[in-house]
């Protein structure tokens, strides 16, 4: 009986050894999150709502009830979203220099990685472009003007957006 106990204990220790090969993990599947569509107003931590005007310019406004601040956030893949202004029909896009602009057609420049931060706000980094190996984020400065992506970091307050339900 004692011998059997020792053999069982030795087998458990060998099976859980740090260098021991383990069975391959099955990839997780989240198909229910793809294609999710949300209508929100993105409120920046600098106290501006993100908007795309009818001319295609991306900027901030303090007016909460503006039509051009209503955005459609569509999940393309898990963690990847496309932001489209409902009123003007423009997609929010970022070029290789980090400038934000409105695009009529959906392109690779329109995809952003959405991340929920510890403070409950969301950050949106360009899926396609990086600056010196660092992600470029969607951001509004203290005057409501868009900041260049090369000058943004995830920890900056100007990159944090709070999605607010459209009522």
pLDDT band at 2 (very low <50, low <70, confident <90, very high): low
| Rounded Cα distance, 60 and 154, in Å | 19
Q: Is residue 97 packed enough to be buried (19+ CB in 10 Å), middle (13-18) or exposed (0-12)?
A: exposed
Count of other CB atoms within 10 angstroms of residue 9: 10
CATH topology of domain 31-165: Trefoil (Acidic Fibroblast Growth Factor, subunit A) (2.80.10)
Q: Where are the beta strands (DSSP E) in the chain?
A: 37-44, 49-52, 58-61, 71-77, 80-85, 91-94, 100-103, 111-116, 122-131, 134-137, 161-165
For residues 63 and 84, give the distance between their C-alpha atoms in angstroms, rounded to a whole number. 19
**107-120: b (≥16 Cβ within 10 Å) or e:** eebbbbebeeeeee
pLDDT 10s digits, 19-77: 555 667 666 666 666 678 889 999 999 999 999 999 999 999 999 888 889 999 999 99
Tokens of 155: 């920890």
Greater confidence (22 vs 122) lies with 122
Token pair of 93, please? 């896009």
| Predicted confidence band of residue 1 (pLDDT cuts 50, 70, 90) | low
């Amino acid at each position: 009986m004692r011998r059997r106990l020792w053999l069982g204990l030795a087998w458990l220790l060998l099976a859980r050894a740090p260098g021991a090969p383990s069975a391959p993990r099955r990839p997780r599947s989240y198909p229910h999150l793809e294609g999710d569509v949300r209508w929100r107003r993105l409120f920046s931590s600098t106290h501006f709502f993100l908007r795309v005007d009818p001319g295609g310019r991306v900027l901030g406004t303090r007016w909460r009830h503006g039509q051009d601040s209503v955005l459609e956030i569509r999940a393309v893949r898990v963690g990847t979203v496309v932001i489209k202004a409902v009123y003007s029909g423009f997609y929010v896009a970022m070029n290789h220099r980090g400038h934000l602009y409105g695009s009529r057609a959906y392109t690779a420049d329109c995809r952003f990685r959405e991340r929920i931060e510890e403070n409950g706000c969301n950050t949106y980094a360009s899926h396609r472009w990086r600056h010196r190996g660092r992600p470029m984020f969607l951001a509004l400065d203290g005057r409501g003007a868009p900041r260049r992506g090369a000058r943004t970091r995830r920890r900056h307050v100007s990159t944090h957006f709070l999605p607010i339900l459209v009522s």
